[in-house]
Amino acid sequence: MTASSVGKPLDRVDGRLKVTGTATFSAEVAVANVAHAVIVGATISKGKITALDVGEAQRVPGVVAVLTHLNAAKVPGADKPTEMTDKVVQVLQNDAVLYDGQPIALVVADTLEHASHAASLVKATYAAEAAICEMDKEIGAGFAPKAAPGRPPPDSNRGDIDAALATAFARVDATYTTPCENHNPLEMHATIAVFQGEDHLTLYDATQGIFGLRKRISKAFDLKPENVRVISHFVGGGFGSKGSAWSHVFLAAMASRATGRAVKLSITRQQMFAFVGYRPQTIQQVTAAASKDGTLVALRHEVTSATSRFDTFAEPSANVTRMLYACPNVKTSHRLVRLDVATPTFTRAPGEASGSFALESALDELSYSLKMDPLALRLKNYAETDPDEKKPFSSKTLRDCYTQGAAKFGWSKRKPEPRSMRDGNWLVGFGMATATYPSRQSAASALARVKKDGSAQVLAGSQDIGTGTYTIMTQIAADALGMSVERVHFDLGDTTFPETPVSGGSQTASSVGSAVKRAGMAVRTKLIDLAVKGKGGPLNGMSAEQVDAEAGVLVSKQDRTKSDSYEAVLARNGLDQIEEKIDEKEKAERKDHSTHAFGAHFIEVKVDPDFGEVRVSRVVSAFAAGKILNRKTARSQFIGGIVWGLGLALHEHTERDPRTSRVVTKDLADYHVPVHADVPDMDIVMVDEVDPYVNEIGAKGVGEIGIVGVGAAIANAVYHATGKRVRSLPITLDKLL
Amino acid sequence: MKPFAYSRETGLDHALARGKEDGVRYLAGGTTLIDLMRLGVEEPSTVVDLRALPLRDIKADGDGVQIGALATNTEVAYHPLIAKAYPVLSEALLSGASPQLRNMASVGGNLLQRTRCSYFRDPSSPCNKRMAGSGCPALDGYNRSNAILGVSSSCIATHPSDMAVALLALDAVVHVRGGGGERAVPMGDFHVAPGSTPAVETALQKGEIITHVTVPASPFAQRSHYVKVRDRASYAFALSSAAVALDVSGGVVKSARVVLGGVATKPWRATEAEAELVGKPPTSMSFDAAGAAAVRGAVPRTHNAFKVELAKRTVARALRDLVGKA
Amino acid sequence: MTHAIAVGASAPDFTLRSLSASALALRALRGRPVVLAFADTFSIGGANADLLREIRAHLRGLGAVLVVLAKSAVFYFRPDDDVEAFDDASPELAREVRDIATAYGCERAMPALFVVDSEGVVRFARRNVDIQGAGGVEGALVAALDAAGRAVLSPKRSLLLTRREWVVTGLVAGFILAFVDGCRDNGAPSPMPPAPGASAAPPPLPAPPGSGDIDVTLNVNGTDRQVRIDPRVSLLDAVRERLALPGTKKGCDHGQCGACTVLVDGMRVNACLTLAIATQAPWAKITTIEGLATGENLHPLQRAFIAEDGFQCGYCTPGQIMSALGMLTEGHLKNDADIREQMSGNICRCGAYPNIVAAIAGVRARKEV
């Protein structure tokens, strides 16, 4: 057998490009004489534009065009989203202002300096209306969102929660809130749009979904999809915000069409807070009740999240409550309130990250009511099968995560009393929480090709947003082809490659990986067939089953001296290459199973007793996520998710002025994300798990589970350290004074 | 960014002459000016780069030290004369910004740092500091980072510097040159509270250049300490900070300095807190009393009310750490 | 029999059938502007790599397709792709090319250039192109494409034109500029790159001069580079947009993330808050991420970042590495525990912090910097 590459901690195949600064991100594609575009944003949150003075802007040297709603071409599809990731965009179609920072003009000039300066000279006059952004005041107007196709319904109810609550021994009723958070990938959204003639468009775009973008843009501009090419070889982080085509992509294309030039539009950091989505604020009411021995008898989780006036996105925070514990009586609901704000979107573990904060905090609170160890409470209510879908799990090794994580962390050293542990002046607290994330699979295609020089090229549309797609696909392909990784070149990020889903929902490894594996296997099968049935050769006449592939050489299993290289097979049969394209669907066995990854976080915090400053000092997190394709990149994904959880717990919140609904914290000095000094080293335990049902490669996806539960684990540790229960994230020091 | 002309001056007299022109801004490290120019808050028509002026030396000055206005924050923080004799200054500098910014930022520029108030930094928002009479949205808007001391009905913008807080505690003197020659401005007079003219932030007159800062020897300089409290472990502005210095002999505080940062419209010397300390033994009780005295008269608002308690504790803690350290 | 194809005429269609891959037909390119270049010889290898990169950048900017018909090879440039070269040297191909050249009336008038618009109409034709300078046909093509691009971009009117008008007028105006005035050195700044091998640095992408622009020299990675810039241009935008060194990243443009960290005279600074004009030679020496590796040999920090997986998306990485280098050489790092504080000016949104620290600590322990 070929030594397997999958599972090994292979260095990233694109590492060299990234450390030398030669990985080309969208705004860096060399386009000579490209025009630079800058968006002018509205400075009110609701109302109408009554006048736009662009005269001064147009007089700036180098300005090519100023697009406004008065002269921009109509884009009929702008407000007609069709897919789940599509958004209603504001692309200069009318005089309405719907949120702070909404694009109201686009300046195109020869240099960025000219465009930026001219943009600052566009003067808008508005008829402003009162804008509302305070969610708690609108909560009475909450409404139930429509269920998205293929996604769980907004409400659920199993058992009889009221009856169960009447008999409960211990009960927690609490309201938890999470704030608006902006993804803030370090690369700002950027597009270079190039119309070639009237009906061919190329977009170099920082996107998590090249095919979704192509579909949205080709429909909106009435172009043939095959005439729109999206290229995205490197993406500087996405976390959900680059999963949709936002206004700037349309605007760049409009500007290219209008001016006849290639147009580069890279939005500013401030604009990252305006029109590229965010995690909406939530208000979550949780009731958790148990009998005396800690058996959960009732869980109720009512979620309200905010959305815009003109589009709908619901943060599905209560879904996790439906399936995480074996509780017979569970009732959940999701409601939305409309505010004068931009539309929120998917943000790393949408729903699970915010919802697990509420659920896992409530369970911690319940553990104190019961005088029971928080870990013991979770083990007591371990769900052996999915209580929501009423199906067996395709695999679930959460128990091992709990025990291995707890052992490594030293959970048993935890003194149950709050405020009972110290390190010098610091208060010390231990907290834990469960992590889970669904393991999805979407249809995906891939093409594998072995060339006459014995090297392989493997193509799949897809994207690498830092998740390691280039690397793990190379490994999967190498194993499938029976080759060494050095001889396999995997490429992605181009709509001329086979179609793949959005890089979101932790589904790329599962979906694209399965297609790549099958494409590689198909080519290998063809090669073996040629070797045994084609022209001559040392393996001719054997049955295919007798032949093995190893580092690009076919070998007889019986007599290993008999071998035939891929080059030789191709040459002998007069072929330049052998290729196979595979269209992979969801694995059939998934239907009969519930598919989730699981994990457990054990976190130590230190809290300054005077100032309430919280420092995360230790993290041990254990995950069972099926086959780990690359231990190095997977560990990075887990760590990255946990760092996001740390930000969620302690730092991140986007604030608006309640009187104007305008964002006040719109840069990286006002919107804090964790820095080096906030993040300790971490101990990541990857629990072995074999899952034959989840997909072709047995991997569950690791991009999102890392963040899930971290908010609660830290909040629980803070409670343990201080005796103060903070139910409103982030846990800034003022909440602990 | 508005277009501007750039020139680099190598002689102080030339630079001073340029300063008389309309629309001139002096450039040193650029960490404030370029930032604000890109936001459209500063719009000079001419930028005169001072970095080639010979104003970068850090040297002994009698028993004290003289720091050139163009010395970078990094150079000052790690200079042996400073790190040993004026720990509060070194600590304050190293708690500020990032290593990159400290490599760029100058002492003179740091003194002239402008507020981080979000409304000030957004030219589409009213702000009395930017546009007199336009109003102060921070008063009743989102004001978590704003000041509770030295405020007026026109402005509650926090002064962001860490360094200036330490320099005030050390009785430093700012030396400036202008058309009328040289003058020395004690740190206590250098920054001014907003009152009804929030655009006026310092005693520096148009066309003047800070040449250097002198820090005298003092009985308390060496026993000095800076504590900074912020929203993350590093690379964040102070929610509250305190520079403290004590001269203790015979078990009694002879003289004391308590200066607050992050909570006031200018580096805020808390003389009432100092009075609580002088003449008493340095105990936790007097430190708490000093903390309480330091925030007397504070005007909390919707989102920054926590700063009253936080500043109080910051003072007490800085003093406790200082005594513990000694 | 040859007759000159005139501007305004339909471009004679042709199909190259003898290509080894698939046939290439002019008609199939309809819908995009096409530049046809006829030349005795044309090369895309070795010494011409920079010119090739420039040709591709220009085609992207124009949204145009280029077909180069040389006597023994055909090159097909689509704006978004690697060039496809058909280098058969077969007699069939040579014959096909000759026939096409005859149809375009240039078989004895090479090099020749034609612009065919998206409707298939010839909009520009020039035979016997005068080649000057070291770039040969390839260099002349770069100059022509650049002039065309500039013409498209320099707004001579405030009215918005339709896309088609722009492309046509732009390309035509550009080629006329290039071959009537531009190519015959009229003092306009030449986009011609230095002779191959003269400099390791990639050629700058031309940016049209604006008002108040000043010629400055920036010493970047040990090489003096001339740029004509507006005083507003930050050091960050100068290296990214003018010097074709996009390794230095823009993450906030306000000194709040560290992605733009470069070394100026060995000290790490935020290039976004630095004016390029204030760091010109000989006042300052600038080091960017592109200046770290020596040929194929990575810098120890680069190797360590790969080995420890000190990145995910890679966008903050150049800044992290430059900052780490500055930290290790500036001399203020106390111990390994201090790395976190000393690196806090560099945000990694992917959260690779523990791995970045491990990479730096390893380099430090091995005394590689």
Confidence of residue C194 (pLDDT cuts 50, 70, 90): very low
Q: Give kind and range of the element (H or E) at residue A647.
A: helix A631-650
A144, A93 contact by CB (below 8 A): no
Is residue C319 a part of any domain in this protein?
A: yes
Which two tokens mark A169?
């021994």
CA–CA distances in Å: residue B158 to residues B151, B161, B188, B263: 9, 9, 16, 6
Residue C94 lies in a domain: yes
What total number of domains does chain B contain?
Answer: 2
Flag whether C203 is in a domain. Answer: no
Q: Same domain for C68 and C116?
A: yes
The pLDDT tens digits for A123-177 are 999 999 999 999 999 999 999 999 878 889 999 999 999 999 999 999 999 999 9
Give me C315's structure tokens: 């966008």
The predicted-structure confidence for C221-237, as pLDDT tens digits, reads as follows: 999 999 999 999 999 99
What Cα–Cα distance (Å) separates residue C100 from each residue in A468, A525, C4, C77, C91?
48, 45, 12, 18, 14
Q: Please, how many CA atoms are within 13 Å of residue C365, restricted to the half-sphere of its CB?
A: 9
pLDDT band (50, 70, 90) for residue A451? very high
Cβ distance C352 to A667 less than 8 Å, yes or no, reads no
Residue in C212, C234, C345 nearest the CB of B98: C345
| Residue C125 pLDDT grade (very low, low, confident, very high; cuts 50, 70, 90) | confident
Instruction: At A220, give phi and psi (nearest 5°).
Output: -65, -35
Residue C349: pLDDT above 50? yes
Q: CB of A295 within 8 A of CB of A372?
A: no
Among A432-436, C130-134, C263-267, the least confident range: C130-134
The CA-based angle A470-A476-A479, given to 5 degrees, is 135
pLDDT at C1 over 50: no
- Checking if the pLDDT of C93 tops 90, the result is no
Residues C254, C318 within the same domain: no
pLDDT at C30: 85
Residue C47 in any domain: the answer is yes
| pLDDT class of A15 with cuts at 50, 70, 90 | very high
Is residue A287 predicted with pLDDT exceeding 50?
yes
Dihedral angle sign, alpha carbons of residues C305, A464, A485, C84: negative
**pLDDT tens profile A306-348:** 999 999 999 999 999 999 999 999 999 999 999 999 999 999 9
Instruction: Kindly indicate whether the domain formed by A31-130+187-236+242-273 is annotated with CATH number 3.40.220.10.
Output: no
| pLDDT tens digits for range A186-229 | 999 999 999 988 889 999 999 999 999 999 999 999 999 999 99
Query: What residue numbers bound the domain in which C346 lies?
Result: 300-365
Of residues C231, C261, C342, nearest to B6 (C-beta): C231
**The pLDDT value given to residue C208:** 47
- Which tokens is B20 given? 């008389």
According to the model, what pLDDT value does residue C185 have? 37
**Phi and psi dihedrals of C341, rounded to 5?**
-65, -45
User: B246 near B218, Cβ under 8 Å?
Assistant: no
| CATH number of the domain to which C100 belongs | 3.40.30
pLDDT band for position C142 (cuts 50, 70, 90): confident
Looking at domain A15-21+442-585, which of 3.40.50.150, 3.40.1080.10, 3.40.50.1970, 3.30.365.10 is its CATH number? 3.30.365.10
How many independent structural domains does chain C possess? 3
The verdict on residue C114 lying in a domain is yes
CB atoms < 10 A from the CB of A420, how many? 14
- At residue A672, the pLDDT reads 98
Q: Which residue has the higher pLDDT, A580 or C173?
A: A580
> Both C354 and C231 in a single domain?
no
pLDDT category of residue C189 using cuts at 50, 70 and 90: very low
> Among A659-663, A702-706, C72-76, C140-144, whose mean pLDDT is lowest?
C140-144
Residue C213 pLDDT greater than 70, yes or no:
yes
Starting at the earlier edge strand, list the strands of the sheet with A614-624. A421-423, A426-438, A596-607, A614-624, A682-686
- Least-confidence region, from B35-49, C141-155, C329-343: C141-155
**C268 shares a domain with C165:** no
| Run of H or E residues at B321 | helix B306-325
Which residue is it, tokens 């008829």? Answer: A127
Pick the residue from chain B with its C-alpha nearest to A676: B234
Question: Dihedral of CA A159/A164/A169/A175: which sign?
Answer: positive
Could you tell me if residue B155 is inside a domain? no
What band does C168 get if pLDDT is binned at 50, 70 and 90?
Answer: low
What chain B residue is nearest to C263 in terms of C-alpha separation? B100
Bridge partner list, A202: A194, A229
DSSP line for A224-253: -GGGEEEE-S--S--TTTTSS--HHHHHHH
Check CB contact under 8 Å for B137 and A657. Answer: yes
C145 and C79 in a common domain: yes
- What is the rounded (10 degree) CA torsion for C304, C306, C310, C316? 110
Tokens of B36: 């604000």
pLDDT in tens, A21-33: 999 999 999 998 8
Nearest residue of C to residue A253, measured between CA atoms: C163
Q: Which fold has domain A156-180+278-440+591-735?
A: Aldehyde Oxidoreductase; domain 4 (3.30.365)
At residue C179, the pLDDT reads 54
What integer pLDDT is reported at residue A96 of this predicted model? 98
CA distance A219 to chain C (A): 19
Subunits with 3+ C-beta pairs closer than 8 A to A:
B, C
CA-nearest residue to B125 within chain A is A43
Give me A222's structure tokens.
């009435």
Residue C209: cis peptide before it, omega within 30 degrees of 0 = no
- Whether residue C164 is predicted with pLDDT greater than 60 in this model: the reply is no
Instruction: Say how far apart CA B104 and CA B102 lie, in whole Å.
Output: 5
User: In this structure, are C280 and C230 located in the same domain?
Assistant: yes
Does the residue B150 lie in any domain? no
How far the first Cα of chain A sits from its last, in Å, is 62
Q: Could you tell me what percentage of chain A is helix, strand and coil, using 3-state DSSP and rounding each to the nearest 5?
A: 30, 25, 45
Residue B102 resides in a domain:
no
* Percentage of chain C lying above the pLDDT 90 cut: 49
C265: domain CATH number is 3.10.20.30
The ranges of chain B with pLDDT < 50 are: none
Contacts of C345 in chain B (CB under 8 A): 97-101, 235
Chain C positions with Cβ closer than 8 Å to B: 211-212, 214, 230-232, 234, 253-255, 258, 261, 267-270, 272-275, 277-278, 283, 323, 326-327, 330, 332, 340-342, 344-346
Flag whether pLDDT at C192 surpasses 50. no
Binned at pLDDT 50, 70 and 90, residue C119 comes out as confident
Nearest-angstrom CA–CA distance, A110 and A399? 60
**Residues spanned by CATH 3.30.365.10 within chain A?**
15-21+442-585, 156-180+278-440+591-735
Report yes or no: C325 and C301 within 8 Å, Cβ to Cβ.
Answer: yes
Cβ of B103 within 8 Å of Cβ of C261? The answer is no
Residue B313 has φ and ψ, to the nearest 5°, of -70, -30
Are β-strands C84-86 and C112-116 bridged in parallel, bridged antiparallel, or unpaired?
unpaired
Contact A124, A42 (CB under 8 A): yes
**Strand partners of residue C36:** C67, C114
**Residue A113 annotated in active site:** no
Residue C116 has pLDDT above 60, yes or no: yes
Which of C211, C268, C345 lies at the smallest CB-CB distance from B235?
Answer: C345
What is the gyration radius of the CA atoms in chain A, in angstroms? 27
d(CA C340, CA C338): 5
Q: Contact at 8 Å (CB) between B235 and B97?
A: yes
Q: What confidence score (pLDDT) does residue C54 get?
A: 86
| Domain shared by C280 and C329, yes or no | no
Residue B40 belongs to domain spanning: 5-49
CATH classification of the domain holding B258:
3.30.390.50
CB contact under 8 A, C231 and B47: yes
Model pLDDT, residue C158? 40
What residues does A164 pair with on adjacent strands? none
- Band (pLDDT 50/70/90 cuts) for residue C183 is very low
Cα distance between residue A423 and residue A412, in whole Å: 17
Provide DSSP, A566-591.
Answer: HHHHHHHTT-SEEEEEEEE---GGGG
Strands A577-584 and A444-451: antiparallel
Q: What residues in A contact B119, CB-CB < 8 Å?
A: 664
Q: What are the C-alpha distances in Å from A579 to residues A363, A612, B69?
A: 53, 61, 68
Domain shared by C220 and C274, yes or no: yes
Please say which residue of C160, C182, C204 terminates a domain.
C182
Residues of B with CB below 8 A from C275's CB?
6, 27, 30, 34, 47, 49
Evaluate whether residue B45 is within a structural domain: yes
- Give the pLDDT band of residue C167 (cuts 50, 70, 90): low
**Contact between A18 and A468 (Cβ < 8 Å):** no
| CA angle in degrees (0–180, nearest 5) for A299-A302-A305 | 145
Query: Please, what is the average pLDDT of chain A?
Result: 97
Q: Is the pLDDT of residue A1 over 50?
A: no
What is the share, in percent, of chain A residues with pLDDT greater than 70?
A: 100
Tell me the pLDDT band of C191, cut-offs 50, 70 and 90.
Answer: very low
State both tokens at A409. 């962390």
Given the structure tokens 């360590």, which residue do they identify? C304
Compute chain B's Rg from CA coordinates. 19
What is the pLDDT, as a whole number, of residue B240? 98
Residue A636 and residue C358: Cα distance in Å, rounded?
Answer: 13
User: A606 CB near a chain B CB, below 8 Å?
Assistant: no
- Which amino acid, residue A501? P
The span from the CA of C123 to the CA of C36, in Å, is 11
Contacts with B234 from chain C: Cβ below 8 Å: 340-341, 344
